[in-house]
């Protein structure tokens, strides 16, 4: 059992939970994830580790409540426990040893960018983070990322930072020159846009993929993605890949496999359930 020691609402639908996971907190590296199962009968959910405190023995998970499983997870309170946490899974992020890095985070993906920026900063890499959200209240991890380097905040409605998408600001950073590597984590269309943006600049670009996953250890093959024409399993081969080689259409497409089930369970949660067996 993994007791929740802290809980914080970061944006209207994003929650941070800090929970006890001694071994994972001790050894986790940036880019790695855990599989979480709230309780008996619940789904297994892959979540990237946003931060860890090896002294306190805690890991931070940043969760966007989109479906039944994530909604139930963020409904937990301090003192409650999560039944299963397995990990750390996946390969650690490919980091550069020196130079300049561009880290782009969209929505909840900003929480995934954070440990990458933190690790780069610790190595002495100059980090420019570009993060964004719909409006001011959707921007997360700004303070944490400021500790790792420069931060450019973008909002769609201009209510905070620059008005516009993260891609616009990222483009200016790339045009200014000197970027050795780019990291992009966020919704699929954003990651695709970042990969397309960096391609003409010949900047190596790493994206973190979030396909449907069950076991997280390579056994089920549900998380298969196409990278450079080859089928890869995101859980054991990834979750981070060369953004210039990822087939984002396929990723977006496979992510929609259970949309009908999700809509049905969301409708049930909102009390509109009219399903009869």
Partner 1 sequence: MATQITAKERMQITRQVMPEQEAVQRSGNFQEVNLGFSEQLALLEAQRCIQCKEAKCIKGCPVMVNIPRFINFVAEGDLASAAKSLFGDNALPSISGRVCPQEEQCEGSCIRGVKGQPVAIGYLERFVADWARTNGSKADAETPAPRGKKVAVIGAGPAGLTAAGELVKSGHDVTIYEALHKPGGVLVYGIPEFRLPKKIVASEVERLTQAGVKIECNIVIGRTYTIPELREKFDAIFIANGAGLPVFMNVPGENFKGVYAANEYLTRVNLMEAWQTEHANTPVLMGKRVAVIGGGNVAMDAVRTAKRLGAEKAMIVYRRTKEEMPARVEEVHHAEHEGVDFQLLVAPLEVIGDEKRWVTGLKCNRMELGEPDASGRRKPQVIPGSEFVLDCDTVVVAIGTKANPLLTATCPELKLNKWGNIEVDENGMTSIPGVFAGGDIVRGAATVILAMGDGKNAAKAIDGYLAQV
The CB-side HSE value for 95 (13 A sphere, CA atoms) comes to 22
CB atoms inside a 10 Å sphere around CB 242: 14
Give the chain's length.
277
Q: Figure out which of the listed residues 30, 88, 106, 161 binds partner 1, where binding follows CB under 8 A.
A: 88
123 near partner 1 (CB under 8 A)? no
CB of 106 to partner 1, least distance (A): 25
Q: Which residue stretch of 93-101, 113-121, 202-210, 255-263 sits at the interface with partner 1 (rule: CB under 8 A)?
A: 255-263
Q: How far is the CB of 79 from partner 1 (least distance, A)?
A: 21
Contacts with partner 1, 9-48, as mask; x by CB under 8 A: --------------xx--x-------x-x---xxxx----
Cα 86 to chain centroid distance, Å, stands at 17
| Dihedral sign, Cα of residue 202, residue 233, residue 70, residue 78 | negative
What is the spatial distance between Cα 133 and Cα 151, in angstroms, rounded to a whole number? 14
Is 94 one of the binding residues for partner 1 (CB under 8 A)? no
First to last CA, the chain: 35
Q: Applying CB under 8 A, which part among 5-13, 161-169, 187-195, 230-238 lies near partner 1?
A: 230-238
Is residue 85 near partner 1 by the rule CB under 8 A?
yes
Question: What b-and-e string marks burial along 138-164, b requiring 16 or more CB atoms within 10 Å of the CB?
Answer: bbbbeebbeebbebbbbbeeeebbbee
Query: Which among 148, 141, 143 is positioned nearest to 127, based on CA atoms?
Result: 148
Q: Which is nearer to partner 1, 80 or 226 (CB)?
A: 226
| Residue among 38, 60, 39, 40 at smallest CA distance from 48 | 60
Q: Which of 142, 168, 236, 244 binds partner 1 (CB under 8 A)?
A: 236
By CB atoms closer than 10 A (0-12, 13-18, 19+), residue 7 is middle
Q: How far is the CB of 177 from partner 1 (least distance, A)?
A: 38
134 binds partner 1 (CB under 8 A): no
Q: Which residue lies nearer to partner 1 by CB, 92 or 164?
A: 92
Per-residue contact track with partner 1, 189 to 228, x per CB under 8 A?
-------------------------xxxxxxxxx-x-x--
Residue with tokens 């089930």: 261
User: Which one, 65 or 220, has the nearer CB to partner 1?
Assistant: 220
* Residue 190 main-chain phi, psi, to 5 deg: -65, -45
By CB under 8 A, name the binding residues for partner 1. Answer: 23-24, 27, 35, 37, 41-44, 68-69, 83-89, 214-222, 224, 226, 231, 233, 236, 250, 253-254, 256-258, 261, 277
């Amino acid at each position: 059992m993994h007791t929740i020691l802290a809980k914080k609402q970061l944006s209207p639908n994003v929650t941070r939970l800090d929970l006890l996971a001694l071994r994972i907190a001790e050894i986790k590296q940036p880019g790695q994830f855990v599989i979480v199962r709230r309780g008996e009968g619940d789904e297994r959910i892959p979540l990237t580790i946003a931060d860890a405190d090896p002294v306190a023995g805690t890991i931070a998970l940043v969760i966007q409540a989109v479906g039944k499983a994530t909604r139930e997870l963020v409904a937990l309170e301090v003192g409650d426990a999560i039944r299963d946490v397995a990990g750390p899974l996946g390969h650690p992020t490919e980091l550069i040893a020196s130079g300049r890095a561009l880290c782009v985070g969209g929505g909840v993906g900003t929480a995934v960018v954070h440990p990458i920026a933190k690790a780069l900063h610790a190595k002495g890499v100059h980090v420019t983070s570009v993060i964004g959200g719909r409006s001011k209240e959707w921007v997360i991890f700004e303070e944490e990322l400021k500790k790792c380097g420069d931060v450019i905040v973008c909002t769609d409605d201009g209510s905070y930072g620059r008005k516009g998408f993260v891609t616009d600001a990222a483009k200016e950073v790339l045009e200014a020159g000197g970027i050795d590597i780019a990291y992009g984590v966020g919704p699929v269309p954003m990651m695709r846009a970042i990969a397309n943006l960096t391609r003409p600049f010949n900047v190596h670009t790493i994206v973190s993929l979030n396909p449907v996953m069950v076991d997280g250890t390579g056994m089920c093959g549900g998380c298969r993605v196409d990278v450079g024409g080859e089928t890869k399993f995101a859980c054991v081969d990834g979750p981070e890949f060369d953004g210039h080689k990822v087939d984002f259409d396929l990723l977006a497409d496979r992510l929609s496999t259970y949309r009908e089930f999700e809509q049905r369970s969301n409708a049930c949660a909102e009390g509109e359930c009219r399903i009869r067996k």
